[in-house]
Amino acid sequence: MTEINLDDKDETEIVQLSPLDGMGTAPDPAWFEQPANELPFERYVLTTPLHLVAATESRTNQWTEWNGYTLANVYTTVEQEYDALRTRAALSDISPLVKYRISGKDAAIYLDRLLTQSVAGVAVNQVARAVLCAGDGCIVTEGLLFRLGETDFRLVVRSPHLDWMLDSAEDFEVGVEDVSGTIAAMSLCGPLAEAVLEAVGIEQANSLEKAQAVWVELGGMPVYVSRTGMMGGSEFELWADPDDAPIVWRRLLDAGRTFGLLPVGMAVRNVARLENGIALEGIDYQSGFSAPDLSTACSPFDLGQGDRVSLERSLFNGQKALTAIAKRGSRHAMKGIEVDASPGVRIEAIFVGDRKVGRVTSHAWSPRLQHHIALALIETDALGASSGFTVEVNEEGEGCKRLAVKLEKRPFLEFS
Amino acid sequence: MSEDALQYDAIVIGAGHNGLVTAGYLARAGKKVVVLEASSAIGGAARTGEISPDYQVSTGAHLISCLPKKVERDLKLAKHGLVWATRDVATVALDQGGKHVIIPAGGKKDIATLTAHATRDGDAWRRFDAQMKKFISVIGPFLEGPVPEMGPDLPGRVPVTTALRLEKLGPRDLRAFLRFMPSSIARILDATFEGDLVKGALALDATLGHHSGPKTPGTAFSFLYKRALETLGQGTGYPAGGAGALSDALAASAESTGARIRLDSPVAQIIAGAGKVSGVRLEDGTVFEAPLVMSSADPKTTCLDLLGARHFEAPMAKHIGRIRSQGSAAKINLALEGLPTFENFTDREYGGRLLIAPDMATVERSFIAAKRNELTLDPVMEMVIPSYHDPRLAPMGHHVLSIVVPNVPFDVEGGWDARRDEFVKRVIDTIALYAPDVSNKIIAGEILTPPEIEEKLGLKGGHWHQGDMSFDQLLAFRPAPGMANYATPVEGLYLCGAGTHPGGGLTGLPGKYAADTALLKEKIS
Ligand SMILES: Cc1cc2nc3c(=O)[nH]c(=O)nc-3n(C[C@H](O)[C@H](O)[C@H](O)COP(=O)(O)OP(=O)(O)OC[C@H]3O[C@@H](n4cnc5c(N)ncnc54)[C@H](O)[C@@H]3O)c2cc1C
C-alpha cells in the first residue's frame, strides 16, 4: 500500500484548478437561479431547492429526472441506502411533486367534483388520498390532499395538470394555483424516523397519527410535517419554504447521523415503494391524458383501489364511466408477482401457457425478500387461473427464459 | 307575484315551436305542464309579425319543409287552426337573363331549365338525384327517432334499416358514399354539373344557416342531411298567416290539453340538487316546481348559464362550452306596393323559393367576407313572397317579401349601427339586378341583423339552429358527445330545442323526440 501524504500536495495548483475554492463550502446559489429574462418553461433541466445540499451528499454523481427536476438516483450505494431506509432512517428530496393550492368559498365542493372521494369528512390538518379521474374513468394523476383550513386545501400530485384543474373550476368560486415552486418537500422514513424528528426538536412527531399533519417550528422556520409516504413503515413528509428547506435538510442530516440516517436516492425509493406494493402514475401506468391507448391507462378499479372511489355520491369527474366499469368489471388489473431470479435481470411480459396476458410494469430485486418483486398489468379474463403464470426473464449473456410465477398479495413486505 | 299553485308535473322552458311541441306531447300524456317563455310572444324563431300596419310576414323562419305528418296529426294542428297556404314551393335559381333554373327538377319542363344552361346537366341531375336518394335511405333512419348513443355496443344499436341499406348500396355506391360524406359540396357539384347557376343554388342550399362555405369540408353531408330531413316532411310550404300560425296552432293544441303558457317569464336558474332537478327560478324570483324540466333554450344557455357547469363532469361541460353557435344570417322583410317584376316569371316562380346565388364563387366569397367580419359586395339570399299564396298578409294587390341573407357576420367591422343601411342597400341593389322595379315598390321594411335575431327572437348567438349543423355537431354529437339522448346528467332535466337531434328548422322533431324520451324514461323507472 502506498501512503499518500496530502500535505505534500501543491496547494497553489489546486487553487488554480478548482473554481469553487475560496468561495466557501458551496457554490453561490445565484448561479443556479433562473436569469430574469428567461421565458417560463424555456428551461428543460430544473433543480430543486435542495439540489445544492443534496449534491454535497452525492458520492456517485448518479442523477435521475422527475417532472423535469434533477434528483439524486444513488448517493452512496444502493445496499447502504436500502439498509438505512429499512433498518434506520432515510432522508430524500421529493420536491418535484406538483402542489396546488385550492382555496375559496367553493373549494370543498370543487374538490368533491374533481376527486373520486368526497372531502367532506377530511378535517383540518388531515390528509386524504386523492385520485383524479378523466371522463373515461382513467386516472389522470393521484396523490394527497391536505386540508389546511376550512376553505384552504393543498393537493399534491405526481404530475402537473393545471389545465384540467382550471377547466374543472368553471362555475365554482375557487382559486386554483400551482404553488409547486414555493414549497420544498422531504421524505423522512425508516424505523428511526420518529427519533430523528425528536432529535431536531419536533416532539409532535410521535403523537402524530397516520394521515395527520401538523405545523411545527424548527429554529424559527415553519415546517408542515405529515405522517404520509409510500415506502411503508414509519414515515413522514416535511413541507417547507424553499429558502428554509436546505437548512431543515442539514439539521435532519446532522441530528440523524447518530441514528444512522442517510440521504437516499430515487433508486432505493423505487425498490421500497415496490415492496410496499404501490403502483405509480407515470411509471406503472400512464395518466389518462398521456396514455397512447387504453391498455396503458388505469382506472382506480384496475389498481385494486375501488375503495378510493365512492360512486354513490354527488357528481364527480369520471363518475359515469367508473359506474359502468364497476358494473362490467376492469379490462386489466395491476397485480403483484414474485420471481425467483437473480438480481440484474429484465422482466417484461407475463404469460399463461403461450398466451401473453400482460406486461410487467416495474420490477426490482428486494434485498429483504431475496427475490424479484414486480407489478404486472394483467388482462382480467386471464386472472381466473390462479396458477400457470410464467414471465419472460432476460438475463445479460444468458438470453431469455420462462420462469413460473405466483400472484402475490400486496404489499409484499409486512409492516408492523 | 302571487300564484296559488306553482307546482307542475313538467316545466318547459321556451315557447319556441319545439318547446310547444314538447308541451303538447307531455300534456297529451296527462302531465300538468307550464311553458315559461322569456319574451312577450310565443314562437321563438317561428313567429309572424308586422312590418308596418297591415303588412304581415314571418319575422324569422319563413318556410316549412320538414314538419312530419305524425306531429301534425298527433297534436291535431289542423283542428287547432293550422291551414297551409301552400305545400308546393319550388326552388327557383334566379338568372339575370331570365333563364331561371327550377330545382328539384321534376318534370321535363324543369329539366329543360337546366339544359338551357348546360346540355348535359339534365342527365347529371337525374343521376345526382337518384344517388342522393340512395344515400338518404342510409342516413334517413337515424332521423326517425332519438339517435343511438355512442358506446362500445353502438354497432348493435345502429338502425337495422341503415345497416341493410348500407349493404344494399353495393361496392360502387358505397365507395361513392364514403367519398361523399366528408367532401365539400363544391367538390361534389363541380364533379357533377356544368352550369354555374345550378351549382350556386345547390351550394347555397348546402350552406344556408350554417357557418360554412361551399368549399368547407363536410358541406356535402350538410346538404344530404337537409334533404334527408325534408323527406320526413310533406313538401315545402308555409301556413296561412306565416310561420307564427304554426306556433299558434301548437300553442292552442297544448292549451287544449291543459298546458299553460306563461309569457314574460325568463327563467334565470334551473334548480337542481343531489343530481335531480326540482324546478326553475324566474328572473323576478318566482319559483316553479316540477320533477321534470324540458328546456328548449339552446344547450349552452341551458347547461352552463341556467344550470351551471358544476352539474356536469368537467369534460362534458367543456364540450358544451365548445359548441359552435356563431349566428350568421340576417333577415330582411319588405312591404311592397305590388309584385316586383322578374323576367319570365309565371305563377310557379312567383310562388317559389327564390335563390340568388349565381355561382359557387359568389357563395364562397360571402362566407369568406363573413368570416372576416365583413359584408360581401354581392350577397346571396333566399327569398319568398308569402303573400303570393297567402294574400291576407298584405292589402289587396300589395305584397311582402321575406329575405334570408346568409353569411352575415354577427360582429360586423365598424358596428351594425354604422353599417345597417349600407347592408340593406346592397341586398336591395342585388335583388334589383333581377327585378329592377323592386326599389320603387318598397313601402316599408325591417331588418334583423344577427345580434337583433339573438335579441328579438331569443336565439343565443343569433344562430338559427342553436348550434352549427356540421358533421361534428350532428347525430350522436348533438348537442355534445355523450349527451345525444336529450337527457342531462341531472335527473329530470332534458333538452328539447333545435340544439338537439335532429337539429334546427321547423320540424318539431327535437321537441317530439325529447318528450318521447322523457316519457319513456318515466315508464321504465
Ligand atoms: C332568420 C331565420 C330564418 C330561418 N329560416 C328557416 C326556414 O325558412 N325554415 C326552417 O325550417 N327553419 C328556419 N330557421 C330555423 C328555425 O327557425 C329554428 O331552427 C327553429 O325555430 C328553432 O326552434 P326552437 O323551438 O328549437 O328554438 P327557438 O325558436 O329558438 O325557441 C326558443 C325559445 O326559448 C325562449 N327562451 C330562451 N331562453 C329562455 C329562458 N331563459 N327563459 C325562458 N324562455 C327562454 C326564447 O325566447 C324562444 O322563444 C330560421 C331561423 C332564423 C333565425
Please name every residue paired with B494 in a beta bridge, in sequence order, or none if there are none. Answer: B294, B487
For residue B215, what are the CA distances in angstroms to A22, A134, B218?
72, 36, 9
Choose between A9 and B494: higher pLDDT: B494
Domain ranges of chain B: 4-46+68-83+240-323+461-524, 128-225
Q: Whose CA is nearest to atom 50 of ligand 1?
A: B61
Domain ranges of chain A: 98-181, 331-408
Q: Is the peptide bond before B502 cis (omega within 30 degrees of 0)?
A: yes
**Distance (Å, whole) CA B127 – CA B525:** 50
- Residue B39 Cβ inside 6 Å of ligand 1? The answer reads yes
Q: Ligand 1 mean position to B269 CA, how many Å? A: 20
- Residue B19 Cβ inside 6 Å of ligand 1? The answer reads yes
Look at residue B462 in the predicted model and tell me its pLDDT.
57
Inter-chain contact A170–B275, Cβ cutoff 8 Å?
A: no
Locus of grid cell 499518500: A4
Inter-chain contact B312–A168, Cβ cutoff 8 Å?
A: no
> Could you tell me the three cell numbers for A87?
433498518
Rg (CA), chain B: 23
Span A322-339, average pLDDT: 93
**Distance (Å, whole) CA B438 – CA B235:** 29
CATH topology of domain A331-408: Elongation Factor Tu (Ef-tu); domain 3 (2.40.30)
Which residues in chain A have their CB less than 8 angstroms from residue B482's CB?
A: 135
Give B219-284 as a DSSP string: HHHHHHHHHHHHHHSS-SBEETT-HHHHHHHHHHHHHHTT-EEESS--EEEEEEETTEEEEEEETT
What CATH architecture is B4-46+68-83+240-323+461-524? 3-Layer(bba) Sandwich (3.50)
Out of A134, A164, A171, the one facing B310 most closely (by C-beta) is: A171
Atom of ligand 1 at shortest range from CA of B36: 43
What's the CATH class of domain A98-181?
alpha beta
- Residue B382 Cβ inside 6 Å of ligand 1? The answer reads no
Task: Provide φ and ψ at B148, rounded to 5°.
Answer: -65, 140
Q: What is the pLDDT along chain B (525 residues), one digit of tens a residue?
A: 445 568 999 999 999 999 999 999 999 999 999 999 999 999 999 999 999 999 999 999 999 999 999 999 999 999 999 999 999 999 999 999 999 999 987 888 999 999 999 999 999 999 999 999 999 998 888 888 888 766 656 666 667 777 777 778 888 889 999 999 999 999 999 999 999 999 999 999 999 988 899 999 999 999 999 999 999 999 999 999 999 999 999 999 999 999 999 999 999 999 999 899 999 999 999 999 999 999 999 999 999 999 999 999 999 999 999 888 777 899 999 999 999 999 999 999 999 999 999 999 999 999 999 999 999 999 999 999 999 999 999 999 999 999 999 999 999 999 999 999 999 999 999 999 999 999 999 999 999 999 999 888 877 665 667 777 877 788 778 888 878 889 999 999 999 999 999 988 999 999 999 999 999 998 877
pLDDT class for A16, splitting at 50, 70, 90?
A: very low
For residue B2, what are the CA distances in angstroms to B9, B13, B278, B279?
20, 20, 20, 17
Residue type, B236: T
Q: Where are the alpha helices (DSSP H) in A19-76?
A: 51-57
Q: Ligand 1 mean position to B265 CA, how many Å? A: 17
- Residue B352 Cβ inside 6 Å of ligand 1? The answer reads no
Cβ atoms of B461 and B297 within 8 Å: the answer is no
Q: Is the dihedral of CA B49, B51, B56, B62 positive or negative?
A: negative
- What letters, b where the CB count within 10 A reaches 16 and e where it falls short, cover B319-329? bbeebebbbbb
Look at residue A399 in the predicted model and tell me its pLDDT.
81
Question: What predicted TM-score, i.e. pTM, was given to this entire model?
Answer: 0.87
Q: Ligand 1 mean position to B58 CA, how many Å? A: 12
Cβ atoms of A221 and A240 within 8 Å: the answer is yes
pLDDT class for A190, splitting at 50, 70, 90?
A: very high
Choose between A384 and B191: higher pLDDT: B191
- Residue B38 Cβ inside 6 Å of ligand 1? The answer reads yes
**Distance (Å, whole) CA A333 – CA B382:** 60
pLDDT class for A6, splitting at 50, 70, 90?
A: very low
Any idea what DSSP says for residue B301? I
pLDDT class for A21, splitting at 50, 70, 90?
A: very low
**Distance (Å, whole) CA B58 – CA B50:** 9
Q: How far is B490 from chain A (nearest CA, A)?
A: 9
Which residues in chain A have their CB less than 8 angstroms from residue B313's CB?
A: 113, 135, 315-320
- DSSP three-state, residue B352: coil
Give A232-265 as a DSSP string: SSSEEEEEE-TTTHHHHHHHHHHHHGGGT-EE--
Share of chain A above pLDDT 90, in %: 74
pLDDT class for A206, splitting at 50, 70, 90?
A: confident
Q: How far is B487 from chain A (nearest CA, A)?
A: 14
